[in-house]
Structure 1
Amino acid sequence: MLYLASFLDQPVRGKTNEIIGRLEDLIVRVGEDLYPPITGLVIRDGRRNFFVPATQLESINGVTRLVSSTVNLRPFLRRDGEILLRKDVLDHQIIDISGRRIVRVNDVQVLRVERTYRLVGVDVSPQALLRRMGPRTLSHRIVGRRIIDWQEAQYLASEAPVRLKVSYDRLSELNPVDLARIVDALSYRESAEIVAALDDETAAEMLEEVSDARLSDLLEGMDVERAADILEEMSPGSAADALEDLDQDVAEEILANMEPEEAADVQELLAYEEGSAGRIMRTDFVRVRASVTVSDVLALLRAQPDVPDPLLAVYVVAKDAAPVEHPTGLSGDDRAVALRGIVRLRNLVIADPTTPLAEVMDHDTPTVRPEDRAEQAARIMAEYNLLAVPVLDDAERLIGIVTVDDALAELLPEIWHNRGARAFA
């Protein structure tokens, strides 16, 4: 293994051992190979930098040597798709995918594979920085490296001044909370770069976890249609909170570009005061009629392409005439109906499939009003050992639920936002 810091600024010798100049940088083409090949050298001769293709490189192990003593002294001009290991990677930030954090590159690892030198990893250890800062005669005595394989390192295209074809597919594998931590810690430009590369669903899941300030900046900075597509993938409560923090004209334009049904759900929540149960309630939950059996409900759930998440309970309503074929046992116009009870998921799973739902449901269910504060919903969930509390309107109709996650996120925003926070290098 070779390390960039060990041969930068060292003499570059020709075939007959004469000094051509000093090694200023190595050029790598990224985008297609898992381990990008070195495509050329930038050599410094006095104040002049010139390019030498990698085909003329014989060795950089111990001494940088070319296969010829004749070089073309044309000035170096960077091309699209190329990065410079010293200028664009060394001392820059990358994302350590397996470590789920941002790290600083203190050295770059290069390996010769057959006849081609390739970028294979980065050293993020403090020892690498000490080796660079200390005398070369003592650098070999500083032991310890922490190498991140280049396949696990997400390079940020905005770090380079040219267009790069960089894939961000691996970031979609991260937990949305971890990805949000990274996006919050990066610059706005780098954050926008990542969001632009994610699909709408992944971007929505991640943006629900970022700080309010970063979310507002990202939404206002992106195309209105893209912002609308992302908000459609968010929960209505999160989308409502996001829109309320935007400039009014921008928020109205985004709402106008959303699908009518999703926009209506968001506008309904915006009608409630911030911090109220109505603002943070979810409207995607499972409603079923009282006359069905446990097996009917399980069959309905299995048949759905998009089951509410989290699925904490099933809400039993007084609507005996609704068709059982509907996902919730209710037609779209009958969603706001009287609540008769709830069936906790545990009881639904362990009950005999033939049991009528009325026999396994809790009849005396505590509820809140949409105008009640989030504190009231959290207190009721704590007292009655609930993971969610139903929200009823003035006509005693079920219009939503408040989950414990949503209540805590409202009551303890900083603590909840920083749950599982990791230290960034």
Structure 2
Amino acid sequence: MMFLAHLLDSPVCGKTDELIGKLDDLIVRIDHSPYPSISGIVVRDRGRRFFVPAAHLVGMNGVAKLNSSVVDVQPFRRRDGEVLLAKDVLDHQIIDISGRRIVRVNDVQLTKIESDFRVIGVDVSAQALFRRLAPKRLADRIQGRHIIDWDEVQYLASAAPVQLKVSYNRLTELNPVDLARIVDALSFRESAELIGGLDHETAADLLEEVSDERLADLLEGMDIERAADILEEMAPGAAADALEDLTRDIAARILARIEPEEAADIQEALSYDEDSVGRIMETDFVRVPMGSTIHEALQAIRTLESPPDPLLAVYVVSEQDPEELRGIVRLRALMLADPAMLIDDIMEDDLPTVQPEDRAEDAARILAEYNLLAVPVLDESMRLVGVVSVDDALAVLMPEIWSRRGARTHL
């Protein structure tokens, strides 16, 4: 195993051991390989910096040994896609995916695999930094390392001053709450870069969890079309909250680019007060007409392209009017019932309801008093317009605590 800090400034020698210069940096290309290979080294000699391809590098054990004594001493000019380990990785922040945190790289671990030298990890320990700063006579006495496998980290392309194509697909493994904490802790440039590498749905889940200030900055800084695509994937209430934090001009331009159906839902949410039931209610829920069997109700759920999340209950409506609420069946009761039974026989028809204009705190109180996971929302005409789940209510009452949970309530 080798470490970058030990390699830097080591002699670079040719085939017959003549001194070529000092090792100034190592070059890699961040690609889809879990362990990127060294593509070349930068050599420093009497004020000149020049490139030596990795094909000429045969060893790095105290001395960087080349298989040739002839090198091209044309001044080094970095190209797009090239990352310099000392300049762009060492002392920079990266994301520890398994640890769900941002870490500082204090050293880089390398090894030789067959004929290639590869980056295999980063040392984030304080000892690694102390070794680099301490006099050489003391550095070897400083023990301890904390190595994170390179395949478990996310490099941030903004650390390099050239164009890089970096995949952020691994970040989709993180809970949106954990990822939001990381985005809030990064610089605006880094967070914008990260968001830019995510698909619309993942970006929407993430942006629902970031701080209001960071959300507004990110939306105002991105392309209008991209912002509209992301807001379309958000819950209407969350999208409405986001638009309210933007300037009127930008909010109007984004809303104009959103698909009409989603835009109508967002505008409806905007018509309610910020702390009202109407702002937090979910309009995506499962309706089942009276007279359906349990089997038919379950089939209706299974055939949904995108079931509601969380799916806590199904709402029994009139056969003649799908907006006339007749009862509710909790998911647990539905799963345990005889498939041949009618939904009417197991539904609860004496449940409290709330209205869109009610305060969100009132919905939370009803959920607690009646031991419910969701409460229906009826408009002034007593028509079913939405549902408030315990998640939604508690997110209003205890936003910081609930966000840190990073979990949904399940039956």
CA contact (8 A) 2:177 2:404 kept: no
Q: 1:32: how far off?
A: 4.5
Counterpart-to-counterpart distance in 2, 1:262 and 1:301: 22
Listed one character per residue, the Cα deviations across residues 119-154 of structure 1 (whole Å, up to 9, x for unaligned) are 121111222112212222333332222222222221
Matched with 2:319 is 320
Specify the alignment match of 1:381 in structure 2.
367
The answer (yes or no) to whether the contact 2:11–2:62 under 8 Å persists in 1 is no
- Residue of structure 1 in register with 2:385 after alignment: 399
Structure 2 Cα separation of the partners of residues 221 and 268 of structure 1:
26
Following superposition, the deviation at residue 420 of structure 1 comes to 5.8
1:363 pairs with 2:349: yes
Q: CA deviation at 1:52?
A: 2.2
Once the two structures are overlaid, the 10-residue window that deviates more, 39-48 or 221-230, is 39-48
Match of 1:122 in 2: 122
Listed one character per residue, the Cα deviations across residues 97-116 of structure 1 (whole Å, up to 9, x for unaligned) are 22222111110111112222
Over the residues paired in the alignment, what is the CA RMSD in angstroms? 1.8
Per the alignment, in what secondary structure is the counterpart of residue 192 of structure 1? helix
Q: Which moved more, 1:38-47 or 1:399-408?
A: 38-47
Distance of 1:62 and 1:10 partners within structure 2: 6
Matches within 5 A, 1:329-368: 330=322, 337-368=323-354
What residue in structure 2 maps to residue 190 of structure 1?
190
Query: Aligned equivalents of 2:249 and 2:216: distance in 1?
Result: 13
Q: What is the rounded CA distance, in whole Å, between the counterparts of 2:275 and 2:167 in structure 1?
A: 39
Counterpart secondary structure, 2:262? helix
**Code of the aligned partner of 1:412:** M
Q: Conserved in 2, the CA contact under 8 Å of 1:181 and 1:210? A: yes
How many Å separate the matches in 2 of 1:357 and 1:115?
A: 68
Write the distance in 1 (CA, Å) between the matches of 2:162 and 2:31. Answer: 13
Greater CA deviation, 70-79 or 401-410?
70-79
Deviates further, 238-247 or 129-138: 129-138
Match of 2:283 in 1: 283
Distance 1:136 1:163 in 2: 36
Q: For 1:393 and 1:382, how far apart are their aligned partners in 2?
A: 22
Paired amino acid for 2:266: V
Is 231-240 or 138-147 further displaced after alignment? Answer: 138-147
Q: Who is 1:274 aligned against?
A: 274
Question: What is the rounded CA distance, in whole Å, between the counterparts of 1:175 and 1:35 in structure 2?
Answer: 25
Q: Counterpart in 2 of 1:38?
A: 38
SS in 2 for 1:209: coil
Q: How far apart, in 1, do the equivalents of 2:336 and 2:55 lie?
A: 69
Question: 2:349 and 2:34 mapped to 1: Cα distance?
Answer: 59
Partner of 2:57: 57
Equivalences for 1:24-173 in 2 at 5 Å? 24-173=24-173
TM-score by length of 1: 0.91
Residue 405 of structure 2 aligns to a residue whose secondary structure is: coil
> For residues 43 and 6 of structure 1, what CA distance do their matches in structure 2 show?
15
The answer to whether the Cα contact below 8 Å between 1:79 and 1:162 also exists between their aligned partners in 2 is: yes
1:281–1:391 Cα contact (<8 Å) kept: yes
User: How far apart are the structure 2 equivalents of 1:105 and 1:193?
Assistant: 19
- How far apart are 1:193 and its partner, in Å? 1.2
AA in 2 matched with 1:140: D
1-side partners of 2:337 and 2:69: how far apart? 84
Offset from partner CA, 1:212-245 (integer Å, 9 cap, x none): 1111111111111111111111111111111111
Tell me the distance in 2 between the aligned counterparts of 1:55 and 1:304. 55
Deviation for aligned residue 1:68: 3.5
Match of 1:216 in 2: 216
> Within 5 A, what are the aligned runs for 1:9-20?
9-20=9-20
- Between the aligned partners of 1:121 and 1:381, the Cα distance in structure 2 is 49
d(CA) in 2 for partners of 1:99 and 1:116? 29
Offset of 1:307 from its aligned partner?
1.2
Gaps of 5+ in 1: 323-329, 331-336
Q: Which moved more, 1:189-198 or 1:78-87?
A: 189-198
CA-to-partner distance for each residue in 1:358-413, whole Å, 9 max, x for gaps?
Answer: 22111211111211111111011000001111111112222111111111111222
Indicate the residue corresponding to 2:358 in structure 1.
372
AA of the residue aligned to 2:383: R
Q: CA deviation at 1:82?
A: 0.6
Residues 15 and 67 of structure 2 are in contact (CA less than 8 Å); yes or no, is this contact kept in structure 1? yes
Measured against aligned partners, the alpha-carbon deviations of 1:33-53 in whole angstroms (never above 9, x if no partner) come to 332221222222233322222
149-158 or 408-417: bigger deviation: 408-417
Instruction: Say if 2:175 and 2:406, in contact at 8 Å, map to a contact too.
Output: no
**TM-score for the superposition, normalised by structure 2:** 0.94
Aligned length: 407
Query: What is the CA–CA distance in structure 1 between the aligned matches of 2:52 and 2:232, rounded to whole Å?
Result: 51
> Residue 246 of structure 2 aligns with which residue?
246
Q: Deviations over 1:45-74 (max 9, x none)?
A: 233322222233232112223334443322
